Structure 1
Amino acid sequence: MLFRKQAVALMTCLMLYGSALQAQDGKMELSVEKIMRDPKWMGTSPSNIFWSEDGKKVYFSWNPDGNKSDSLYSVSADGKNIRKVSPQERRNLPSPYGEYNRAETKKVYEKNGDIFLYNIKSGKPQQITNTVERESSPSFSHNEQKVVYIKDNNLFAWHAANGQTVQLTDFRKGRKAAGEGKDAQRDWLKEQQLSLLQIVREREEEKEAQQKKQKRDAPNRPKEIYIDDKAVNSINLSPDERFITYQLVNRPKNAKTAIVPNYVTSSGYTEDINTRTKVGDAQATYEFFVYDTQRDTAFAVSMKDVAGIAEQPAYLLEKETNTSAAKDTTDTKAKKTEVRPTVIYGPYWSDNGKQAVVVARSQDNKDRWILKLDPATGKLTVLDRQRDEAWINGPGIGYGPGEIGWMPDNERVWFQSEESGYSHLYTVDVSSGKKKELTSGKFEVSDLRISDDKKNWYFTANKAHPGEKHFYRMPLQGGEMVQLISMPGAQEVTLSPDEKNLAIRSSTSNRPWELYVMENKKSAKPKQVTESLTEEFKSYDWREPEVITFKAEDGADVYARLYRPENPEKNGPAVVFVHGAGYLQNAHKWWSSYFREYMFHNFLADQGYTVLDIDYRGSAGYGRDVRTGIYRFMGGKDLSDHIDGAKHLVEKYNVDPNRIGIYGGSYGGFITLMAMFTEPDVFAAGAALRSVTDWAHYNHGYTSNILNTPYTDSTAYAKSSPIYYAEGLKGALLICHGMVDTNVHFQDVVRLTQRLIELGKDNWELAVYPVEDHGFVEPSSWTDEYKRIYKLFEENLKKEEGDKI
């Protein structure tokens, strides 16, 4: 044992001075210190790609000189004349975001809180507003004679012909004065005053006459709409300018916000950070309104007659069935007819301005409806209902522009759905309700757009392999999907304004993102524009991890990245990495957002470890069944996939079953804790980083999707939370957490720490990082954390004799 401790001490010493080491052949020798430096040591990939409005240049952020921050660069469409953009040119550029008119000759956008109108042919901007207040969300009116925008939570229109600005809405906080609303008590008091006192009657009559005169003199003033203390969102003007739709948000007054103390501050005092509520706390409610300017009235759009609105989630019906003997049956029936709270998004108008659809989501996360809206009556007609007893999600299945739209015939709406088990493209006829699937297969599509000539679709899909993303073109009515780019890995494509050229960000699993340009033709050859990697980074032969599959215990195929030592030891050690976020993909063939972990896995392989990085149940990229495989039991199939992965390492890759470790951050930290507590004989050591320890203390938006809420589904939370299983710990456990983590609060590990103390466990340690949030920033913190992880594995997974130093 003494030899083992001396070996570990020597290894730590080598790690501390490893940044000075180079192999004799000139190849860089990895160390934790090298990997965890400021990422600029690797080189900085181009990002934020956008085209000039005339399509002659591509702009992008880049930092080839390793400066403190990125600069703006440009390159011509043919890949020549790359240069840094001058500050003056940068300031004069229109925002890359905004809205075009139909002919795409003009663009309206927000910049620095003001609204601009850009003439694409002349290249000259016209500033529409210049105020201290922020104006936002600009768009063209349907006749393109006005620019409509939001200011102070109200809708305004600027008339291009005369430069006049008109206020279209008048939303006011508070309530109407007594007698003007529907308050029975106040109305009664007013009537009493009017009947008893002549002077009151006379003044009230004079006031009413004055108001009528003002209305006659200024007939175009918008109606005063009082919204109490609610917030107003999503204000939209109809194409005929008769209707204004809006959303009112009622935020609960009794919601309790969690506090994160910040100990290391410039003031020298501990300062509190307000963060979020916890899952199941009181949530905001939403109402959708139509203001009919012709009738001068506003009314709420109701979901009460929409098919399925009262259908309760299956888990609640199961609960009712299990306890029906103790309940009154009439009460159960009443509950089943309750209208579930929903959020309505939109509307989205056809290009001819004649028809509108909205999208609604139930706040219990089980339903999404696409509905035709009659704005004059508020009537909703169901065009499509997607029901998922787990929760609605998936690529492209959203609620905003770019996730639903109209076909050129103005009769059909396009959208994405997981109806087939994978997220695919559909259309539905708004008159007949006929639905058509345009893409199909065991793959997913995303980032849809219709070509300017209205003949084709462009989109991204992982058709070739779940771990590859390619850019496709397909006829508008469906048909052959043509892959336009042949490069391996993944491509992020930005079309030029005339759609003749592509700006492409491309990467592979061992090469970070670079910028390419290419003609929009299948046979065209991409031209590389940037070379971002430093000589130091290129001096190491970075592994291209093999993407493998293995069978889970229930027969499902599980994808994973595999890193192997050059000369694997028989019965050698292994480490299983667990990616975070849950719904995220990491066993793919492009550059990982977990680039530090990728480099650490190369380092571990150099030290003799086999590393497995699993896309477990709940991960993205594999369709609905994988996405929802963790419903009501996090730490179920997602954990068993890692157990099966460990078995696969033993059976196929000569790994010692007693020398397997596990680590990960966030969701990965949660799985690590569940593994160490509930499968203690599988993993000898684990490092849990920024871990959720009790899902009842996480946020509502994420957690209620998967586990419902603690007071309606307490069993799901108990099954899924590591803190309930801490007594099962056997192996060596390292816990690391940032103290100003505003996502997974430091309180999570404090509570778990107390639990471990009370259980008398002594085979664990806690490392805290006083200045770090959920995502670490400081290289010193990254270095300290990963030195501890490496030390944990060296001390617990390497043999006591024959250690290689």
Structure 2
Amino acid sequence: MALQLRFLFLALFISASAVSQSDLSVKKIMQDPNWMGTFPSSVEWNEQSNTIYFDYNPEQNVSDSLYKIRLSTPSKIEKVSLEEQKSKVSLYGDYNDKRTQKLFVKYGDLYLHDIKKNKTDLVLDLGESIQSPKFISGSEYAFISNNNLYIYNVKQGQIQKKTNIESGSANDKTSKKSEKNQWVEDENLSLLEEVRVQKENSEMRDQNRKLLDDKSFTFYLDKQRAFSFDISETGNFLTFQTYQPDSPENTMVPNYVDASGYTEPLNTRSKVGDQDSQRDLYLYHIQKDTVFKIDTSSLPGITDLPKYTEDYPDREWEEKQRSVTFSDVKFSSNDQNAVLSMRAQDNKDRWISLLNLNDGNLEVLDRQHDEAWIAGPGIGSYYGGGSLGWLADDKHIYYQSEATGYSHLYLHNIENDNQTQLTNGDFEVFSPQLSNDKKHWFFTSSEVHPGERHFYKMPVMGGTKTKLTSMEGKNSVVLSPDEKQMAILYSNSNSPEELFLKKTKANATPKQLTDGQSEAFQAYDWRTPELIQFEAEDGATPYARLYKPEESIDKNAAVIFVHGAGYLQNAHKWWSSYFREYMFHNLLTDLGYTVLDVDYRGSAGYGRDWRTGIYRHMGGKDLSDQVDGAKYLVENHGIDADKIGLYGGSYGGFITLMAMFNEPDTFAAGAALRSVTDWAHYNHGYTSNILNEPHLDPEAYRKSSPIYFAEGLEGDLLIAHGVVDTNVHFQDVVRLSQRLIELEKEDWEMALYPIEGHGFTQPSSWTDEYSRILKLFENTIGK
């Protein structure tokens, strides 16, 4: 009997010792992130290359402050005074040819900084905002003010207006007053002699000014607005874009807990299908004193219909010229040529073209077409941007293209129309920049591994690349202005970003300058997730982060995390922007769960085919990748097929809903946070890329929107949403909840957060939300 009791006691002891527990808690993880420590961000150099500035918060204030490290005392971190901040040279501006001076604008005024003397002088204070300063010669500066180009001659102290761009129309300037208003003015002038004399003098001065002014041409904007001014290198040309403001039907988000005590409506975005206004590009030829409107009708394929229209044979499709958006115009150093990028507003085409500066005609150098949508690193987006410019020889332009399936760097010789690919392989290139002497490239790439980022140097015409960083993870490099030093924001999977300094040499040793982790954060032994690949149903091999519990506490249950944003990478070797979720996954693992975090189809970092794998069917391959991840866990890690849940926010919330509605045999429980439920109600810029427009491609929206599949819900579902979410509107889950009610579904619940938007800000909200997620899993798959 005693022996039996001893065995029973031993069995109970072993059972009790195997109970999973953690030093972490939801409340600890979700408290103000300051508990983790303080970490640098927004790094920049001073113009003398001897001081690094960065945002930092060692005092644990409400927001970060500006700090600096001098290279002469690298172990000393100093807070930048308010006076120094006000006098600090702007990061943006224009350098002279020798890079000894920099023009920049601050508080609307024009300043000149002498780099060697470290001296800044106020050049112009016009009382009106100055923009886009540019060196034209050693003694002339160009700038934009009130939509016009001005040249300031330093030696003469004179400002010359070079363009006449005015709002309104010519008719506005000469329009006659109504009979009533004219009578009022005439009567007033007959009664007040001094006023009449002033008016006559003013009219005489205007007439004299017109006689003296050699500018006979005025460009009237009419109802349009001008933006994006680009000044040529000699100041002889100006390009600008225009758009006509429209009034899209914006949606209203009610704020029920406004400080006023009243429900206040927030005027937010419109829905997909509300196109941006037509944009136009103009070339102002200063010497000819005229403006050319750039005609895009000759662009190859400008009237092509997208391939998806073939799926709607009963609809009549009109082949018409598509609207385009324009990049900045880049002028060669001698103003002989200019180049720009244009993209169709349906994002199926991108053209790189020369702009003839004599007549405004276009000559296409490269057309990139994609039946899905044009995107990728350095290629720009619906709103512009992208890598584009000239080499020092003025005959080669550079740009990036996904022609091979990955975004790479190209040169194009405009004299012989020859294209050269400078980088090549199954990796992507990020942020290429020319060296000061124009003889080399600096850029970041994923060549070593999709989950790593390293910094490289390469000859300008291509050739051997020199890898300048070596720390495994992400190396975000900011070169010093003299290019002799690299400030590196570095992180790995379980360590947030810290600041390092390294000479711009491959074999130099990086020196760590900050060490911001708190003792509380360091007290826990954070896991380095295993980076794995598994095979999907179509043979693709997605990357994923895997967190495995100790065998003694393994519940044989799994949670799959679905990252948001769609085009984002999270299965990598650096500190995740989802740091709360990373800590939550450590907690789940402590409690005996296996966690899988998949870079599903549509994620960034893996080239064009991966990016566009969700075209016209969100909730297709991006969902099947989650299902295949679940199968991988069952077959390789002993997970019970009936004990798998998933969760995610935004796009991750959308996938969670699609999984719970369409794959009930795979997922027993799910938490959908701030989730899109109907893509026809999301924004235009993001959604129209992937699904086209709902009135043109309705089948894509019906296949991709969870609200159409709600009848498939069988497992336990938690829906959580911020009421004042101006990105994915609260209306999304309200409409879905009504659908679930009508379908008489029972195993779902909703948590609402009255003062939260799309990204939560309050620790109490984070804690409540993730406590509910943990409770959901513990009460379902964790039993």
The reply to whether TM is greater than 0.5 is yes
1:273 matched to 2:266? The reply is yes
The residue matched to 2:228 in structure 1 has which SS?
strand
Shift of 1:211: 7.5
Report the equivalent of 1:191: none
Report the equivalent of 1:437: 421
Shift of 1:298: 2.0
Report the equivalent of 2:368: 386
Report the equivalent of 1:32: 26
Shift of 1:301: 0.8
Report the equivalent of 1:238: 232
Counterpart code for 1:297: T
1:510–1:544 CA contact under 8 A, matched in 2: yes
Shift of 1:350: 1.3
Change in Cα spacing, 1:602 to 1:665, as seen in structure 2 (3 Å) is same
The residue matched to 1:797 in structure 2 has which SS?
coil
Structure-1 separation of matches of 2:127 and 2:252: 33
1:323 matched to 2:314? The reply is yes
Q: Which moved more, 1:614-623 or 1:162-171?
A: 162-171
1:402–1:449 CA contact under 8 A, matched in 2: no
Shift of 1:557: 1.1
Shift of 1:378: 1.3
Shift of 1:653: 0.9
The correspondence for 1:395, drawn from 377, 386, 406, is 377
Structure-1 separation of matches of 2:352 and 2:473: 35
The correspondence for 1:90, drawn from 78, 85, 91, is 85
Q: Which moved more, 1:476-485 or 1:611-620?
A: 476-485
1:629 matched to 2:622? The reply is no
Superposed CA offset, 1:353-412 (max 9, x none):
221111100011000000001022111001111000000000111276771111121101
Structure-2 separation of matches of 1:562 and 1:180: 72
Report the equivalent of 1:729: 713
Report the equivalent of 1:160: 154
The 5-angstrom pairing of residues 750-765 of structure 1 reads: 750-765=734-749
Report the equivalent of 1:587: 571
Structure-1 separation of matches of 2:612 and 2:91: 36
1:669 matched to 2:660? The reply is no
2:233–2:332 CA contact under 8 A, matched in 1: no
1:288–1:344 CA contact under 8 A, matched in 2: yes
Report the equivalent of 1:292: 285
Structure 2 unaligned blocks of 5 or more: 1-20, 176-201
The residue matched to 2:667 in structure 1 has which SS?
coil
Change in Cα spacing, 1:89 to 1:663, as seen in structure 2 (3 Å) is same
Report the equivalent of 1:149: 143
The residue matched to 2:686 in structure 1 has which SS?
helix
Counterpart code for 1:216: L
Counterpart code for 2:295: S
The 5-angstrom pairing of residues 332-347 of structure 1 reads: 335-336=318-319, 338-347=320-329
Change in Cα spacing, 1:672 to 1:251, as seen in structure 2 (3 Å) is same
Counterpart code for 1:581: A
Report the equivalent of 1:199: none
2:427–2:606 CA contact under 8 A, matched in 1: yes
The correspondence for 1:791, drawn from 766, 775, 780, is 775
Report the equivalent of 1:219: 214
RMSD: 2.3
Structure-2 separation of matches of 1:341 and 1:385: 16
Report the equivalent of 2:637: 653
The residue matched to 1:557 in structure 2 has which SS?
coil
1:74 matched to 2:68? The reply is yes
1:514–1:528 CA contact under 8 A, matched in 2: yes
Counterpart code for 1:404: L
Q: Which moved more, 1:782-791 or 1:57-66?
A: 57-66
Structure-2 separation of matches of 1:145 and 1:573: 72
1:252–1:282 CA contact under 8 A, matched in 2: no
The residue matched to 1:494 in structure 2 has which SS?
strand
The 5-angstrom pairing of residues 212-611 of structure 1 reads: 214-219=209-214, 223-253=217-247, 255-316=248-309, 318-319=310-311, 322-323=313-314, 335-336=318-319, 338-398=320-380, 403-567=387-551, 569=553, 572-611=556-595
Counterpart code for 2:782: K
Shift of 1:695: 0.3
Shift of 1:134: 3.4
Structure-2 separation of matches of 1:553 and 1:781: 38
The residue matched to 1:49 in structure 2 has which SS?
strand
The correspondence for 1:134, drawn from 129, 135, 140, is 129
The correspondence for 2:731, drawn from 747, 763, 766, is 747
The residue matched to 2:157 in structure 1 has which SS?
coil
Structure-1 separation of matches of 2:379 and 2:754: 39
The 5-angstrom pairing of residues 195-206 of structure 1 reads: none
Shift of 1:85: 2.3
The residue matched to 1:281 in structure 2 has which SS?
coil
Structure-2 separation of matches of 1:485 and 1:258: 47
Change in Cα spacing, 1:28 to 1:138, as seen in structure 2 (3 Å) is farther
Superposed CA offset, 1:664-686 (max 9, x none):
00000000000000111111110
Report the equivalent of 1:115: 110
The correspondence for 1:680, drawn from 652, 660, 664, is 664
Counterpart code for 2:778: E
Superposed CA offset, 1:718-754 (max 9, x none):
0000000001000110011111111001111111111
Structure-2 separation of matches of 1:658 and 1:796: 10
Counterpart code for 2:130: E
The residue matched to 2:759 in structure 1 has which SS?
coil
Superposed CA offset, 1:530-549 (max 9, x none):
00000000000000001100
Counterpart code for 2:729: H
Report the equivalent of 2:47: 53
Report the equivalent of 1:125: 120
Shift of 1:146: 3.0
Identity of matched residues, %: 53
2:322–2:345 CA contact under 8 A, matched in 1: yes
Change in Cα spacing, 1:485 to 1:759, as seen in structure 2 (3 Å) is same
The residue matched to 2:676 in structure 1 has which SS?
coil
Superposed CA offset, 1:242-282 (max 9, x none):
332111112334x2011111111121111111111100024
Structure-2 separation of matches of 1:179 and 1:85: 51
Structure-2 separation of matches of 1:52 and 1:451: 17
Structure-2 separation of matches of 1:263 and 1:603: 34
Shift of 1:568: 5.9
Report the equivalent of 2:703: 719
1:58–1:74 CA contact under 8 A, matched in 2: yes
Superposed CA offset, 1:674-714 (max 9, x none):
00001111111100000000000000000000000001100
Structure-1 separation of matches of 2:128 and 2:657: 49
Structure-2 separation of matches of 1:507 and 1:635: 32
Report the equivalent of 1:707: 691
Superposed CA offset, 1:292-345 (max 9, x none):
2333322311011122212221112x145x337xx5xxxx6xx33x21111122
Counterpart code for 1:177: N
Shift of 1:132: 5.6
Structure 1 unaligned blocks of 5 or more: 1-26, 182-206, 800-805
2:476–2:488 CA contact under 8 A, matched in 1: yes
Structure-2 separation of matches of 1:208 and 1:45: 63
The residue matched to 2:329 in structure 1 has which SS?
strand
The residue matched to 2:520 in structure 1 has which SS?
helix
Change in Cα spacing, 1:532 to 1:56, as seen in structure 2 (3 Å) is same
2:544–2:598 CA contact under 8 A, matched in 1: yes
Structure-1 separation of matches of 2:141 and 2:423: 37
Give the count of matched residue pairs.
Answer: 737
Shift of 1:212: 7.2
Counterpart code for 2:226: V
Structure-1 separation of matches of 2:55 and 2:205: 59
